[in-house]
Structure 1
Amino acid sequence: MSSYVDATSGAVDHCQLMAQQQPDLAADYYKIASSCKEKLWHQLTLTILDLVSKPTTTLRSTPEGTNSYLALYDKVVLSIDTKLNPLSLARIASYVAASLTAKTSDEKDTTAAKAVLENLLANKKDTLGTPATIFVQSKLSLLSLNADDKTKLDQIKTIVKSNGELLKEMIDARDTSESAIVHSAHYEMAMTYYKVVGPPESFYDQAMSFLNYAPLLETTDDAKTAYYHQLAVDLCLAALTGEGVYNLGQVVSTPVLAMLANTPESWLVDMLKACAKGQVVEFNTLTTQYADAIAKQPALVHRATAVKEKLTLLALVNLVFEKHSSERTLGFQEVADRLHIDILQVEWVIMRALSLQLIEGSMDQVDQTVSVTWVLPRVLDTTELQALAGRFGEWAVKVSKTKDYMQEQTPTFA
């Protein structure tokens, strides 16, 4: 006599019960049940992912009072988990874990959320594969960081470094959705870690990488809006105060900064743009105008000297960039006037710029000039691109005239 038991029977029964209890979600639950019966695992995966990715509209309680996502995971997903793509399974588990902390920071919910991911790592460590493992570890670490669990910082530090190296070694398939999902999960966790422990330049690097893989999309979700608003604030502060962060045009062009438009923090974007262009007068005006707001930002207060130095150096970089390549021998007085510093400070500023490799060239202390042969590459805005295009046009004209002159001066032989 056969002892075969259909593992999906309980899953189907659960879906049918939930369809009866939640009529507005009946279509989704019946679709999941149908996919289970017909063993359409890909369609089932897509339906579940779609359902659990919208907690504001689909997260409910079961008749027993259980979180509906957790019940779906326990009674349906785990019963057919061997049939699912490992990364899809990991994504479903992460949505379930997130739902347990979405509306409360209660420790019991956080513990339950961690348990979902910890059990997945423990029970499926041989079948998850590297991408899904990185994804789950990232989401689990993020839960600890958001719960302010300081006991996990050393462990998370190891995960940030080891998984970062693994991602670099993996074949670059950034244009695939699965690769983007894994990378964005890692970088979100990494930037959150560095926001907690510092330094700001490490947060900046990870945040920019996160935005490369998880670009900002239009959203009406209040939670997501608040999340990206805070990220924009943190990114501005990190760009201004981070050591070695000089290519500010990169962050200025990031769409996430638009989240600060018409908000009390919009001054941060104005300061960042002024610093990026080395506009000393405008930056100082903003500093005076928003002194009270700046005083409430510890990062700007504690690193005020570093920010001032960055502004001065970028003013020099912009001065050089605006010059034609044939006009890049600058007098100390011109530099002092542009940077709004005493002429006695010019030599130090130039030496500092040379040591940081913001410029290359040589300095003549006797004649008080600096000749620049190279300047830091940078992300250009529309106005700067138009100016550069104009220079290319002038260069093309000069080349054409030189060619004509050479042709005229070249003797012809019969």
Structure 2
Amino acid sequence: MASSNVLSYLSEQKKTSNKELAAEWTQIEELYNDKLWNELTIKMITFVNHPAFQNEDSLVQLYHNFISSFETKINPYGLVEIVSVIVSYIGEKKEAVEFLEKLKEKVKICEEAVWFCRVLQGQIYLEHLQDLEATKKIIEDLKEVLEESGNVTPVHGKYFLLASNYYRRVGQHSDYYRCGLQFLGCSLDEYPKEEWPQQAFFLGLAALLGDGIYNIGELLAHPILESLNGTENEWIVELLKAFNFGDINKFEKMKPQWGSIPDLATQEIKLRQKISLLCLMEMTFKRPSDHRSIKFEEIATETKLPLKEVEILIMKALAQGLVKGAIDQVSGVVNMTWVQPRVLSKDQVAAMATTLDAWIGSIVSMENLIEAKAAEILTN
């Protein structure tokens, strides 16, 4: 676009705008004339969010009549940030996807800008076009390149939000849980606080229902759970704590609450299997390393399982790598040697400290014994 056409557009906008908006246009015109592209980019990122432009016609005209004249001169990632607002107002969503496809070619010198375009396309496919296959392809294509990027980029948080929303939509609880936590790790400060309670509740459900999710302490340690305080879903925090400690009594007492949630009520058998495994892990964790021979009867009592099902429970725990050890069927005991590391609560850390104190005490006793025996040998 010729510079004169751009200036004509800017002049027209100043004439038809109110005093406040006209001053904004004047500042933009000055930045454009002085070719201060970085400052202009920063200005436009906020300007496209002005209340006067929150409609498709105004934003598309802004792009074609002004932004397109300098889009090759500014930071590619900044350009995508500007365009992300514009495409969100394009009513025909297939056109929005095509718009981003053309933009990808314009910003291809910057990998992060291209990734951002693809994430935006994925959001449109998922939220507006209901095209789960197209969304899945974008998530899978981006997963490897983002993992190999070597550092966390501004796109990572956006990608994990897209992926977690997709996995929640298709009911893949474990993937949703992992991506949800990764999203919070990247973008918690930018995430609207009014959305924290819902996200915390969904993550809690995913932690309970997700296959292979046994490190529930990771979620319990996250500040997002505090957003549930005083809400109708506050109970899920206590349920998560019950699972983290393998507290089957508490789990059963809370059935009126979790039983009212269809997703949990229909998976009661699965939930009982998970908390039984966590109970076995906790039993192993609490014991000193030299006292980890656990009788089947003890496990049956703690897990509330029939004695004949205890060996199956132990075999499942061994197969999933939650514990290591050997089963002595004749004696009816399992000799545990290792338990999978987890994020620990304060109480669990305190228990570990007690275990360490006992271990140190054993070492000191052994040292004293060796010294005493050594003295006897030397004096004889």
Length-normalised TM-score, structure 1: 0.82
> Partner of 1:85 in structure 2?
75
Which structure 2 residues correspond to residues 51-130 of structure 1 after superposition, within 5 A?
A: 51-52=47-48, 55=49, 58-61=50-53, 68-98=58-88, 100=89, 109-111=90-92, 115-116=95-96, 118-125=98-105, 127-128=107-108, 129-130=110-111
Deviation per residue, 1:209-261 (Å, 9 max, x gap)? 211211245x7xxxx34533322222111111111111111122222222222
Residue 302 of structure 1 deviates from its aligned partner by 3.0
Instruction: Report SS of the residue matched to 1:283.
Output: helix
- Change over 3 Å in CA distance of 1:242–1:22 after alignment to 2: farther
Distance in 2 between the 1:50 and 1:406 partners? 74
Residue 312 of structure 1 deviates from its aligned partner by 0.9
Contact 1:200 1:238 (C-alpha < 8 Å) held by counterparts: yes
Which structure 2 residues correspond to residues 295-310 of structure 1 after superposition, within 5 A?
A: 297=262, 299-310=263-274
Whether 1:364 aligns to 2:314 is: no
- Change over 3 Å in CA distance of 1:124–1:133 after alignment to 2: closer
> Partner of 1:243 in structure 2?
211
> Partner of 1:266 in structure 2?
234
Contact 2:107 2:114 (C-alpha < 8 Å) held by counterparts: no
Residue 8 of structure 1 deviates from its aligned partner by 4.6
Residue 89 of structure 1 deviates from its aligned partner by 1.0
Distance in 1 between the 2:8 and 2:291 partners? 79
Distance in 1 between the 2:253 and 2:316 partners? 25
> Partner of 2:37 in structure 1?
41
Distance in 1 between the 2:321 and 2:39 partners? 54
> Partner of 2:353 in structure 1?
389
> Partner of 1:173 in structure 2?
151
The code of the aligned residue for 1:73 comes to Y
Distance in 1 between the 2:363 and 2:141 partners? 52
Distance in 2 between the 1:185 and 1:22 partners? 36
Between the aligned residues of both structures, percent identity stands at 27
- Change over 3 Å in CA distance of 1:241–1:290 after alignment to 2: closer
Contact 1:247 1:378 (C-alpha < 8 Å) held by counterparts: yes
Distance in 2 between the 1:240 and 1:173 partners? 30
> Partner of 1:197 in structure 2?
170
Alignment gaps of 5+ in structure 1: 101-108
Distance in 2 between the 1:122 and 1:287 partners? 53
Which structure 2 residues correspond to residues 143-292 of structure 1 after superposition, within 5 A?
A: 143-147=124-128, 149-150=129-130, 152-170=131-149, 172-174=150-152, 179=153, 181-216=154-189, 224-291=192-259
- Change over 3 Å in CA distance of 1:350–1:32 after alignment to 2: same
The code of the aligned residue for 2:196 comes to Y
Distance in 2 between the 1:322 and 1:78 partners? 64
Which structure 2 residues correspond to residues 329-368 of structure 1 after superposition, within 5 A?
A: 329-368=293-332
Alignment gaps of 5+ in structure 2: none
Distance in 2 between the 1:312 and 1:17 partners? 72
The code of the aligned residue for 1:358 comes to L
Deviation per residue, 1:294-318 (Å, 9 max, x gap)? 2xx3x21332211111011101111
- Change over 3 Å in CA distance of 1:290–1:143 after alignment to 2: same
Choose the corresponding residue for 1:139, options 120, 129, 154: 120
Distance in 1 between the 2:305 and 2:122 partners? 47
Distance in 2 between the 1:201 and 1:338 partners? 27
Residue 404 of structure 1 deviates from its aligned partner by 5.5
Contact 1:32 1:47 (C-alpha < 8 Å) held by counterparts: yes
Distance in 2 between the 1:404 and 1:318 partners? 33
Residue 68 of structure 1 deviates from its aligned partner by 4.8
Distance in 1 between the 2:204 and 2:166 partners? 17
The code of the aligned residue for 2:43 comes to T
Distance in 1 between the 2:57 and 2:220 partners? 42
- Change over 3 Å in CA distance of 1:397–1:95 after alignment to 2: farther
- Change over 3 Å in CA distance of 1:257–1:74 after alignment to 2: farther
Whether 1:314 aligns to 2:278 is: yes
- Change over 3 Å in CA distance of 1:361–1:66 after alignment to 2: closer
Residue 80 of structure 1 deviates from its aligned partner by 1.0
Instruction: Report SS of the residue matched to 1:262.
Output: coil
Deviation per residue, 1:151-188 (Å, 9 max, x gap)? x2222211111111111222x222xxxx1x21111111
Distance in 2 between the 1:71 and 1:22 partners? 21
Distance in 2 between the 1:284 and 1:160 partners? 38
Contact 2:103 2:117 (C-alpha < 8 Å) held by counterparts: no
Contact 1:187 1:207 (C-alpha < 8 Å) held by counterparts: yes
